[in-house]
Structure 1
Amino acid sequence: MTTAARGVAARGVDTPGRAQVPARRLRSDRWWLPPAATAAGLLAFVVYGGVRAFQQQYFFADERYLTPFYSPCVSLGCASEPGAAHFGMFLPDHPLIPYAALSLPFLLGFRLTCYYYRKAYYRSIWIAPAACAVPEPHATYTGETRFPLILQNAHRYFFYVALLVSLVNTYDAIVAFRHPTDGFVVGVGNLVLLVNVALLWLYTVSCHSCRHVMGGRLTHFSKHPVRYWLWTRISALNTRHMLFAWVTLGTLVLTDLYVMLVARGTITDLRLIG
């Protein structure tokens, strides 16, 4: 007699149509460590990013370094650091509105709907499933066919906005080579910004949506040699999409932390040229 037949609420592998596994789980190893580590990593980034986005200070250093958490800085509050407002100031200055409110919601949507991040938080937070041979705690499964998970299909549109934001971040990194009074200079902060934006581009273009846009609708690759060449390169990057997803979380935090520490005067940016 199955668990459901005995009157106990069916769940996961106990539900009709799933393999009947009498044991609570078929794992004796520490299967919970990977999903727990994933949940901890994602939570740490969300907490840090949330605090910094609403701190509204220490976002512009040495009159040229703008942290990606505040790019583009389009709030009227950016007037405290006018050099940071590369594209004007038009959003109201309010404690509940991030200075980069024009881009952060779309970047958050891009990350949340990313195919890798879906797998990460489905397994580590939603527990669907947590690991192989571990029962799910959910009695039913509808996939991404109902609200709110059906909104995951908006990922391709978030991708287009992410491309624009990557261009903005690239612009920030380039203009940071010019100091208002000293002219062309190169500091450690410039290298930090460049490495960060390069890795962000790798994460963005290795996206599944980018791969599909480049070659997903082609019937004959032979008739589109340039797009086929680009598709093969993006496909190679796509195999490392998970790596880029985690690395860019780290570089975003490190870049922001560096700019914040320089802006606070905790550390001094080392000039290499100029």
Structure 2
Amino acid sequence: MATGTEPQLNTGPQPGGVRGGTRAAIAEPHLRKDRWWLAPAVTAFGLLAFVVYSTWRAFANTDYYAAPYVSPFYSPCLADNCHTMKGGPNFGLLGDWWGLSPALIILIFPLGFRLTCYYYRKAYYRGFWASPPACAVAEPHKKYTGETRFPLILQNIHRYFFYAAVLVALILTWDTLLGFRDEHYEWGHMGLGTVVFLVNIVLIWAYTLSCHSCRHIVGGRLKHFSKHPVRYRMWGWVGKLNARHMQLAWASLISVALADFYVYLVATGAFTDPRFF
């Protein structure tokens, strides 16, 4: 029996989503009074800053090697136009490749891993596409298809980019070891750049291993953890890292940019790498 106090529903043509015709007619788009827009705005600014910087460095095709350091954006050097100083790595596997910067070839794999990462999806979905911009705040789109159509369906290949990310981390580990040389490529030395590269590779490994795909590979599809004690312990370790996946994602993003910038400063002569021993 109607009492006359029930909420009135929209019955006319309405857009989909939270403003659909089957939902209560509320004039306000949301009822939040806090600065809900601040978090997605900061996220968008941080990601945009990295995109601008990495794009500049990738197309620069110069100042990415300062013995014994090679920029993580350009490692390993794959093309003939990857000119390095004496003794620098130059594999020349892809030839001149139309004169493109080798960083444009190399960055496909770590960027593919990050772009399809579960945390970064949340970050740029909210920061750039407002999908949704914050909890309890409606997204401005008329319909939602999720990751079922091109190009977002490509997010499902994240697990394969994980294998590429492990390979990249191994290469950067080798570059870090090479940092224990001096400018004459003699071992047993250490500079500030070595410390920068050490911090970077620790964060890179922590972020890579904290990946949800890594957690599934280590402990997924196990019906009885008691029968797999080693994998269970590894799953626990990865799980602890996974709980800090967001923090590790930002820390490693900043560290890899700083490592590249450090090499740039040394290569251009703007800064001299201090040697500790």
> What TM-score do the two structures reach when normalised by structure 2?
0.91
> Over aligned residues, Cα RMSD in angstroms?
2.0
User: Which stretch of the first structure deviates more once superposed, 259-268 or 10-19?
Assistant: 10-19
Deviations 1:82-110 (A, max 9, x none): 53325x11224368623134431111110
SS in 2 for 1:35: helix
Query: Of residues 153, 157, 162 in structure 1, which corresponds to 2:160?
Result: 157
Unmatched 5+ stretches in structure 1: none
Deviation, structure 1 residue 3: 5.7
Cα drift, residue 134 of structure 1: 1.5
Residue in structure 2 matching 1:192, options 193, 196, 221:
196
34-43 or 127-136, which moves further after superposition? 127-136
2:134 is aligned to: 131
Q: How does 1:160-239 map to 2 (within 5 A)?
A: 160-179=163-182, 181=184, 183-184=186-187, 185-239=189-243
| Corresponding residue number in structure 2 for 1:116 | 119
Q: Which residue of 266, 269, 274 corresponds with 1:265?
A: 269
**Matched-pair contact (CA < 8 Å) for 1:72–1:102:** no
Match of 2:276, SS state, is strand
The secondary structure found in structure 1 opposite 2:159 is: helix
Check 1:167–1:4 CA distance in 2 against 1; reply closer, same or farther (3 A cut). Answer: farther
Report the TM-score, using the length of structure 1 for normalisation.
Answer: 0.91
Cα deviation code 1:50-101 (max 9, x no counterpart) = 110110111011x210110111111111234353325x11224368623134
Which of 44, 60, 85 lines up with 1:39 in the alignment?
Answer: 44
Contact 2:73–2:106 (CA under 8 A) maintained in structure 1: no
Cα distance in 1, alignment partners of residues 80 and 10 from structure 2: 61
- How do 1:58-69 residues align onto structure 2 when only pairs under 5 Å count? 58-61=63-66, 63-69=67-73
Native 8 Å contact 2:64 2:71 kept in 1: yes
Shift of 1:10: 1.4
More relative contact order in 1 or in 2 (CA 8 Å, sep 6+)?
Answer: 1
Q: Distance in 1 between matches of 2:197 and 2:84?
A: 22
Aligned length: 269
- Name which one, 1 or 2, has greater alpha-carbon Rg: 2
CA separation in 1, counterparts of 2:24 and 2:112?
A: 35
User: For 1:188-236, what per-residue CA distance to the aligned partner results, in whole angstroms no more than 9, with x for missing partners?
Assistant: 1111111101100000000000000000111111111111100000001
Aligned equivalents of 2:25, 2:218: Cα separation in 1: 43
Extract unaligned runs of 5+ from structure 2. 1-7
Q: Name the aligned partner's letter for residue 230 of structure 1.
A: M
Q: Percent identity at matched positions? A: 53
3-state SS of the aligned residue for 1:211?
Answer: helix
Distance change >3 Å, CA 82–CA 182, structure 1 → 2:
closer
